[in-house]
Amino acid sequence: MNPYDYVKKEPYQLYIDGVFVVPEDKVTFDIQNPVKNQIFAKAYKAGKPEVTRAVKAARKAFDEGPWGKMPPRERSKLLLKAGQILEQRKEEFSCIETLECGKSYAGARYFEAEMSVDAFEYYAGKARCLEGKAVPIDNNTVNLVQWYPHGVVGEILPWNGPLMMGCQKICAILAAGNTAIVKPSSWASLSMLLLAEVFDEAGFPSGVVNVLTGSGSVIGDMLVKSPDVDMVAMTGGTSTGKHIIEASKDTVKDVALELGGKSPNIIFDDVDIDDAVKWARWAFTQNSGQVCVSGTRLIVQRSIYEQFIEKLQSECEKLIPGDGFDPKTTLTSLIHRDHAQSVWEYIEKGKAEGARLVCGGEPYTDQKLTAGNFVPPTLFADVTPDMTIFKEEIFGPVLCITPFDSEAEAIALANSTEYGLAGGVFTKNMKRGLRVAQKIHSGQIYVNSYFSKAMIESPGTGWKQSGLGVAGIQKYMISKTIFIDTQEGSLPM
């Protein structure tokens, strides 16, 4: 089937209080395919009235509607039903995700769509296993620690993995018993609007899930500031996260943030070099480097430094840029021209600040590629911690390579940024692998591989400026401790 056959001709509508709606002012925005920079659909932009309606609906569904009273078993059944509906529509979702985000169809279909269905199954199970604890204090006293849903959660999403991340987060929100107002990125809105159809068909009560597309500074800001929204979670850039912290201060709302990264990938000289080179290449070019945990700072032991760079260059030069639907493509487009422009500015800074350009670093000339937002894999060697490209997240296929002599120096280099999201260590010495992994100040570390296969079972948290709060279902719950004294007349006086 042609992927465009899945695209609706009319603008995609917002989903509020169990109904697909057109906003009062009927304003739309363009949905673009980044491979050709062609507009292929339109979606409605929520304005303030729609945000107000969605907050009211989510509030009512939690406070008065059936959702707030529904036993976890029933929530679980609804999640399973929705997962089954999504399972039937995996092909459609994968095509839309590939069209809108420019990513690899194979990755969207056989990893992200599968993981999205898995999120429904996993959190349906989680909803059945919610538990607290009883803490015995003395013979007469016990403390009961219980976990509650926050209430209304505003979930603000990024564009780099909207379907999978959206499913994982919304399912956790619902399994915990909250209601949700979902705000996808303006550059990747369709999968969440389609997902609203899934929740609708599965029979979730009105107002439990609401999806608002449009501007982050309007919708996101209202969600953050509304006293009727109990919690806001945002996955996105660190500067947006800081803005949300600032904007949430008047309501002292619970805020959870999953933010940017500049993850180190340390290579010791005892590795199988060919194998480690392939991992290092994958770690920074997967989804064209638009992965929060990408290994974008390669820290290589000096004894193999030049040899490693040479082999890595050769691996990078094998990559074939193109449309994510083409099975030959191994390097996909960046999401948007503006984002590609920001990546080019970093490349120019790298050159200007004296990093050694090994390969890439110049735009493609082929017209097929210049129509899209392609950036060739770019290697900078001899990058030092004072350089902008070492410190700041670029979010494109740009790798900074730095040599080290001692284990202590490798760790110091790994830890010398403001971020603490992820990292990798490659060595055959497992004692050293674990020792170094424990010393890197990040929420997730891969040893002798890169990227997690099981994020949902063991989600990583962002350390330092990479995040705020815990991950998984606990993120969407709040604790209460009830102190119980069973003794009569036990006043301590």
Backbone φ and ψ of 371, nearest 5°: -70, -25
Kindly tell me which residue out of 140, 217, 370, 384 binds ligand NAP, with binding defined by CB under 6 A.
217
- Smaller CB separation from ligand NAP, 233 or 300: 233
Q: Which segment (40-48, 210-218, 265-273, 361-369) binds ligand NAP by CB under 6 A?
A: 210-218
Q: Is 263 helix (H, G, I), strand (E, B) or coil?
A: strand
Q: Which helix (H) or strand (E) holds 145?
A: strand 141-149
Nearer to ligand NAP, 179 or 235 (CB): 235
Taking Cα atoms as reference points, which of 394, 456, 464 lies closest to residue 422?
464
Amino acid letter, 106: A
Interface with ligand NAP (CB under 6 A), residue total 33
The nearest distance, CB 259 to ligand NAP, in angstroms, is 5
445 binds ligand NAP (CB under 6 A): no
Please select the residue that binds ligand NAP; options are 215, 342, 415, 448, rule is CB under 6 A.
215
Cα 183 to chain center, whole Å? Answer: 13
- Identify whether 315 is a catalytic site residue: no
Name residues contacting ligand NAP, limited to 149-208 (CB under 6 A). Answer: 156-160, 183, 185-187
Among residues 243, 253, 281, 475, which is the contact residue for ligand NAP, using CB under 6 A?
243
Q: Select 84 or 251, whichever has its Cβ closest to ligand NAP.
A: 251
221 binds ligand NAP (CB under 6 A): yes
Among the candidate windows 55-63, 81-89, 171-179, 214-222, which touches ligand NAP by CB under 6 A? 214-222
In eight-state DSSP terms, residue 331 is B
In the range 278-337, which residues lie near ligand NAP by CB under 6 A?
292
CB burial class (10 A; 0-12, 13-18, 19+) of residue 232?
Answer: buried
392 part of the interface to ligand NAP, by CB under 6 A: no
Q: Distance between CA 180 and CA 17 in Å, rounded?
A: 11
Dihedral sign for Cα atoms in the order 113, 117, 120, 121? negative
Q: Which is nearer to ligand NAP, 223 or 304 (CB)?
A: 223
Q: Which of residues 424 and 462 has its CB atom nearest to ligand NAP in the complex?
A: 462
Residue 154, Ramachandran bin (φ over 0: left; ψ between -120 and 50: alpha; else beta): beta
| Residues forming beta bridges with residue 258, ordered by sequence position | 235, 467
For residue 34, what is the DSSP state? T
Of positions 11, 102, 149, 220, contacts ligand NAP by CB under 6 A: 220
Q: Does 97 bind ligand NAP (CB under 6 A)?
A: no
Q: Is residue 421 close enough to count as binding ligand NAP by CB under 6 A? A: yes
Q: Is 235 in the site for ligand NAP (CB under 6 A)?
A: yes
Q: State the binding string over 452-471 for ligand NAP (x if CB under 6 A, else -).
A: ----------x---xx----
CB of 311 to ligand NAP, least distance (A): 28
Residue 413 identity (one-letter amino acid): L
Residue 205 CB contacts under 8 Å (≥ 6 apart), including other chains = 18, 61, 65, 66, 67, 70
Regarding 13 and contact with ligand NAP (CB under 6 A), the answer is no
Quick one: 76 or 235, whose CB is closer to ligand NAP? 235
Farthest-apart Cα atoms in the chain, separation: 86
Q: Tell me the closest approach of the beta carbon of residue 168 to ligand NAP, in angstroms.
A: 10
Q: Which long-range contacts (CB under 8 A, 24 or more apart) does 112-118 make?
A: 112/161, 112/163, 112/164, 113/163, 113/164, 114/90, 115/164, 115/167, 115/168, 115/455, 115/456, 116/86, 116/90, 116/163, 116/164, 116/166, 116/167, 116/168, 117/83, 117/86, 117/87, 117/90, 117/167, 118/456
Rank residues 324 and 396 by Cβ distance to ligand NAP and give the closer one: 396
Cβ–Cβ < 8 Å for 212, 14: yes
Q: Which of 258, 348, 353, 409 is catalytic?
A: 258
Q: Cβ atoms within 10 A of the Cβ of 358, count?
A: 19
Write out the residues near ligand NAP by the rule CB under 6 A.
156-160, 183, 185-187, 215-217, 220-221, 224, 234-237, 240, 243-244, 258-261, 292, 393, 395, 421, 462, 466-467
Residues with a known catalytic role: 258
